A and B are shown apart, each in its own frame.
Chain A
């Protein structure tokens, strides 16, 4: 029963949602709106579950002084401080919550992402070698797009912008569309397998 009931709910829910999409009747619309309400409620619970898991995981790490427990302490302290500050003074405008966001979280996250520029530069220098025909194509495309997308590219050689646009509009788009179609077909087949009960790994404990 522990497996049959969730499988039955999935089958009925999946089939009903497929049918309602193609039938714009009032009853079908009511079902759709009801399901949206359910989705929103479930999404709210996932947040609670996520925060709960985070607290349990880091408290456990802290309690047993596992490797990196100092980071767990910072995580929990951050969670506690932001929650308390937000609950007491609110979140909007010039409240402490927003001030902490602007002067702490904002620069921290921006700095972390900015470091990518340095690593990308170093990785590009070391990895981009014209070792084969395919690698040479990739290298040339990358150089053309990198230079063609910035204003100085047109100063160096004006047609580079057109070549860069062509690379993005045709070879790039064709490849991305092919990948997109493959992903789309994969999603449909996976969804059908879940609805029909063939794919059961989401229930847990099944290989």
Chain B
């Protein structure tokens, strides 16, 4: 095997080990490179930041454990921002039933940090199947979709829900998602009921939603771990996403390095064959 062929066919196990090291080493010994804030993240932060104490935000945590590495830091950051400003939060989880667990974990963590009480400062409505129908029903009345909260308490008995009927009573809805449910929120809640929508998505999904930013259908967009790290920077509470960025830096660099190596091998090999063929 020539050197060029070797450059094009490095054993995948070598790649796997190097990728693992590129993620693990920066986690143990962080570089803490500064994170630049993009306009789409800043817009969402500023929208929430302008809200007054007592205003209500609907936060839909539409992801499950598979995407929680990227989505959970976003959810916790937005909850921290809301709780620190005295903004009340209604939480749902409509994409998958497994999302209930991750949503409750995020909510419990943030609520404990800011000593917020269930029913007074936040409400966890939980999951119902058929997200489109639930989103439309909440536009008419939250009680139509969720007569009780996740813990079984009637909505009528929850102090925070007094005077809150539908989307007209909330200032913004933010969906943190690992699935395509954002389209449903934008079309049904944003389009039909005119509620401002913000979103947080995994990095691979982010490119799909720039069209909604440009058209104004999304207030702001958090893309992947980077988006979460930017939000942590804006709320001045660096946490898991900020720590994870170093690993992502190294992993991206490593992948690009191997792509370049593979292409050098490809071109040199092609050239060598051409010379031989003459």
Q: Which residues of A are in contact with B by a Cβ distance under 8 Å?
A: 32-33, 36-37, 39-40, 42-44, 46-47, 91-93, 98, 101-102, 105-110, 112-114, 117-118, 120-122, 124-126, 128-131, 139, 142-143, 146-147, 149-152, 154-155, 161, 165, 168-169, 172-173, 176-177, 180
CA distance A130 to B105 in the complex (A): 45
A106-B101 in contact (CB<8A): yes
The A interface, classified by DSSP as helix, strand, loop or mixed, is: helix
Q: Flag B91-113 by CB within 8 Å of A: 1 or 0 each.
A: 00000001011101100100000
User: Contacts of A126 on B, CB cut-off 8 Å?
Assistant: 262
User: Contacts of A40 on B, CB cut-off 8 Å?
Assistant: 128, 130, 133-134, 137, 144-145
Closest to A131 in B: B266
CA distance A105 to B132 in the complex (A): 26
A128-B262 in contact (CB<8A): yes
B19-A117 in contact (CB<8A): yes
A168-B258 in contact (CB<8A): no
A176-B36 in contact (CB<8A): no
Q: A110-B66, A147-B256 are in contact. Are A36 and B249 (CB under 8 A)?
A: no
A130-B130 in contact (CB<8A): no
B66-A109 in contact (CB<8A): yes
Q: Is B65 an interface residue (CB 8 A)?
A: yes
Residues of chain B at interface, number, CB under 8 A: 65
CA distance A177 to B12 in the complex (A): 37
User: Contacts of A91 on B, CB cut-off 8 Å?
Assistant: 100, 150
CA distance A59 to B67 in the complex (A): 30
Q: Could you jot down 6 A-B contacts, CB within 8 Å?
A: A32-B140, A91-B150, A110-B65, A117-B23, A131-B266, A139-B263
Segment of B42-50, B81-89, B208-216 in the binding face = B208-216
In-complex Cβ contact of B211 among A93, A109, A180 (8 A)? A180
Q: Is B136 an interface residue (CB 8 A)?
A: yes
Closest to A126 in B: B262
In-complex Cβ contact of B262 among A125, A149, A151, A177 (8 A)? A125
CA distance A105 to B35 in the complex (A): 32
Q: Is B184 an interface residue (CB 8 A)?
A: no
Q: Is B255 an interface residue (CB 8 A)?
A: yes
Q: A37-B144, A122-B12 are in contact. Are A143 and B259 (CB under 8 A)?
A: yes
Closest to A146 in B: B252
User: Contacts of B129 on A, CB cut-off 8 Å?
Assistant: 43-44, 46-47
Q: Flag B59-82 by CB within 8 Å of A: 1 or 0 each.
A: 000001111110000000000000
**Whole-angstrom distance from the CB of B179 to the nearest CB of chain A?**
13
**Whole-angstrom distance from the CB of B30 to the nearest CB of chain A?**
12
Q: Is B164 an interface residue (CB 8 A)?
A: no
Q: Is B15 an interface residue (CB 8 A)?
A: yes
Q: Quick one: which of B219-237 are within 8 Å of A by CB?
A: 223-224, 226
Q: Is B154 an interface residue (CB 8 A)?
A: no
User: Contacts of A43 on B, CB cut-off 8 Å?
Assistant: 128-130, 133-134
User: Contacts of A117 on B, CB cut-off 8 Å?
Assistant: 19, 23, 251
User: Which 5 A-B pairs rank lowest in CB-CB distance, beginning with the nearest?
Assistant: A43-B130, A39-B133, A109-B65, A113-B66, A101-B101
User: Contacts of A105 on B, CB cut-off 8 Å?
Assistant: 65, 98, 101
B262-A102 in contact (CB<8A): no
In-complex Cβ contact of A129 among B128, B137, B266 (8 A)? B266
